[in-house]
Amino acid sequence: MTDTTLDSLLPSLRELYRDLHAHPELSLQETRTAGIVAARLREQGGWEVTEGVGGTGVVGVLRSGEGPTVLLRADMDALPVLEATGLPYASVARGTDRDGNDVPVMHACGHDMHVTCLLGVTALLAAERDAWRGTVVAVFQPAEEIGRGARDMLDDGFAERFPRPDVCLGQHVGPFPTGVAVTRPGAVMAASDSYRVRLFGRGGHGSTPESTVDPVVLAAAVVMRLQTVVSREVGASQTAVVTVGSIHAGTKENIIADEAELKLNIRSVDPVVRERVLAAVRRIVRAEAEASGSPKEPEFTSLGSFPVTENTDDATATTIDGLRGALGEHGVLVLPQPINGSEDFGLFGKELGVPSVFWHFGGADPAAFAGLDAGTLASRGLPAEIPVNHAPQYAPLQDPTIELGVRAFLAAARTWLGSPE
């Protein structure tokens, strides 16, 4: 690959990124994005393209003689977030969520950048098939945000329909300085469990609370007591997060409702800690309901889960070498502990029984990190003023993030692919 070759692609990739950012689609609804991906792969030439894998997933297979098989993955879905970036290509899209609600839609997690970078990589690999040997399986996955996309693709016969990889590689843009990638061997991202909890009361008039069981007060007690799970039941050297991200009850200020609904998210890395936290959450919710005189047991409904994302040790070392070839010796930081975000990418390696490596690459202005060296960034985390993934203000810089994301992903892939004799 030459700089001129990548340079010639950048105008088209920038245009693609702006288009994807302005037209986000919710999980399991990525039809427009999938159509663009499939068309681009066919235009590049050489790709065997399969659409509709696991719903809206797209898989491209490119062969160049005998050699290793490398899976490269990008996710495509967006989030129900109202964009507040102020970008000229900001999303004004709206969609219908899984509960039938009309919601704003935004690429608040950078999946538009992931698609753009992987399509840059696939274009370069297709243009230079004489420079490498093996097979590339490019996976454009739906529904990562709800933890379903990888599972749906695997359940759609992925292992039987496509070449078995020797390694699975994936990357995610994040609020780190451009030119920096972060990863680690072993657990690199946390497990996640999400639940809807229905709390039951006995409704009535706001003037006579004594004749009711107020589910709003019950919900408030649950929310506050859940804050003690991590602080009092998880060891200081262990990792867990409990978040109540949504609470809904009632319709009017002088009506005591019949029920309240909470949506919870639990993050963990250690399986023993996970079980302890999940048990504590259930115990507290049930105990507070009993203490409030609730007429009915709370109901728990799973909204999805993600496994711990595990990087295979030896494969991670090999991939880091490739990333450093693209980003420089000091461009790759080894994290001291896992990131508490979650991913379903690891299911591909786990289900296919092959090594797996996942890393994050920076999309933020390096000027915002002035005075912070690499060690401080790795150990203490990000400056508070940097917008993070899922925030209404989050958007990676278009330049140089696209170029560096392509370079990093391509270098990692080429580390595993064979060379012509």
Catalytic residues: 75, 145
Asked whether 316 and 357 are in contact (CB, 8 A), the reply is yes
Paired tokens of 171: 């990357």
Q: Which residues contact 283 (CB under 8 A, 6 or more apart)?
A: none
Paired tokens of 88: 């000229």
The two beta strands, 259-268 and 240-249, are: antiparallel
- What are the Cα distances from residue 79, in Å, to 11, 272, 335, 392? 26, 31, 27, 10
Paired tokens of 282: 């259930």
- What is the gyration radius of the CA atoms in the chain, in angstroms? 23
Q: Which residues contact 268 (CB under 8 A, 6 or more apart)?
A: 190, 191, 193, 239, 240, 241, 274, 277
- What are the Cα distances from residue 76, in Å, to 37, 150, 229, 281, 288? 10, 12, 34, 32, 40
- Of 343, 26, 360, 313, the residue nearest 173 (C-alpha): 360
